[in-house]
Structure 1
Amino acid sequence: MSRFPLYTIDNAPAQSQPVLQQLQQAFGVIPNIAGKMAASPVLINGFIGLFQRVHASSFSETQIQVLLLTNAVTNASEWAVAFHSALALQQGLDHADVDAIRAGGVPRDAQDAALSTLARTLIETRGRLAEMDQQRFIGAGFSAEQILEVIAVVAASTITNYTGSVTQPALEAQFEAFAWRANGR
């Protein structure tokens, strides 16, 4: 038996159930990673609150998926890479750009590349951005304030990425075509 059971709306702790209901409405299913997160009402409620704010940021949904996919790859979170590959394509990111991010590269669009590079740099340097990194991002047409928004996206996705690494949720059938392995990429 797994240390981290896969909860449903019916058997999750009461304080986790509203989040699972929200996710059910948003995606039509409860993502397995959320079913694992539900064991901790503190975690799942923090996750949903931050993600709601991220999705209300100045970034488009496609840009958010560029960030989330980059973060998943950088953190080697296999479940999240598959999930965000599918969502990035749904949001209109070109398949070649999704493949580039999955391989550790960047998208062709200059702004998407700047987003991806900044997110990767934030994770790899543990938030210690050099002035040059910040200037490169701003030079791509973003504001200084948007650097802080990228930090929020990185924080939100870290919750998912780390939860996936610790709890190892099964990949849902609809995401199997996007399976990714950290060692074999």
Structure 2
Amino acid sequence: MSRLTLPDVAQAPAASQPALQEIQKAFGGSVPAMFRMVSNSPAALRSMWGSFGAFAGGQLGAKLGEQLAVAIADRNRCEYCLAAHNVLGANAGLSPETLAQAQRGQSDDPRTAAALKFVLKLVDQRGQVSAADVQAVRDAGFSEGEVVELVGVTALNLFTNYINNALEVPVDFKAVELTA
């Protein structure tokens, strides 16, 4: 059971309604429980949904973004985010095997592997990475802008992981077993 009220869309604050309508459209008529929980704070919902939209238009692409999300979710033991991003990753064209590898922080693609290593180090070190860590991801072919996006996507995933873990948001996607 969640630790705060999990409103349905109609019960959410009026200031959350515009974002909830966008989310409902994006998710084919439903609003996932995480967004309903966050709708208790219109400011938090605008921040989260706006960040998802901004990074969707970024340089990293949906496939890499979903691989990063499952790795970060597993590291933070966020069952909700792991389940959700496995569905979103499949929708982006990733195979179950690729998603399982990413969940373990691995990839057969050297560029993706470097990104996974970097974001997991960001998580583990609370952002305190070295110049060599940044250079390693640059050497793997990431531009300066893409490195900034890797940090930003990590922060967004921490936001969602913390919401779901701290508030015990019920998982409304097919469950995936954590490895961490």
In structure 2, the residue matched to 1:180 is 177
C-alpha separation in 2, matches of 1:19 and 1:180: 30
Conserved? CA contact 2:3–2:168, under 8 Å:
no
Asked if 2 retains the 8 angstrom alpha-carbon contact of 1:65 and 1:84, the reply is yes
For these two proteins, the number of residue pairs brought into alignment is 179
1:5-154 → structure 2 map (5 Å cutoff): 5-28=5-28, 29-102=30-103, 104-154=104-154
Q: Percent identity?
A: 28
Change (3 A) 1:106 1:2: closer
Cα 1:180–1:18 shift into 2, 3 Å:
farther
Question: Counterparts of 2:89 and 2:15 in 1: how far apart (Å)?
Answer: 30
Q: Which runs of 5+ in 2 are unaligned?
A: none
d(CA) in 2 for partners of 1:90, 1:114:
23
Distance 1:94 1:162 in 2: 27
After TM superposition, give the deviation of residue 113 of structure 1 in Å.
1.1
Q: Distance in 2 between matches of 1:33 and 1:2?
A: 10
Alpha-carbon shift at residue 8 of structure 1 (Å): 2.2
* Alignment deviations for residues 123-168 of structure 1 (CA, whole Å, 9 cap, x no partner): 1111112122112111111112211111111111122110000121
AA aligned opposite 1:78: E
Distance 2:2 2:88 in 1: 28
**CA deviations over 1:18-72 (Å, ceiling 9, x no partner):** 1111111001210111111111112111111111111111111111111221221
TM-score when normalising by structure 1? 0.89
CA distance in 1, matches of 2:8, 2:20: 7
TM-score after normalising by structure 2: 0.92
The answer (yes or no) to whether the contact 2:80–2:169 under 8 Å persists in 1 is yes
Distance between the aligned counterparts of 1:125 and 1:136, measured in 2?
16
CA shift, 1:105, in A, is 3.0
Contact 1:8 1:20 (8 Å CA) reproduced: no
CA distance in 2, matches of 1:66, 1:148: 17
| Runs of 4+ more than 6 Å apart | none
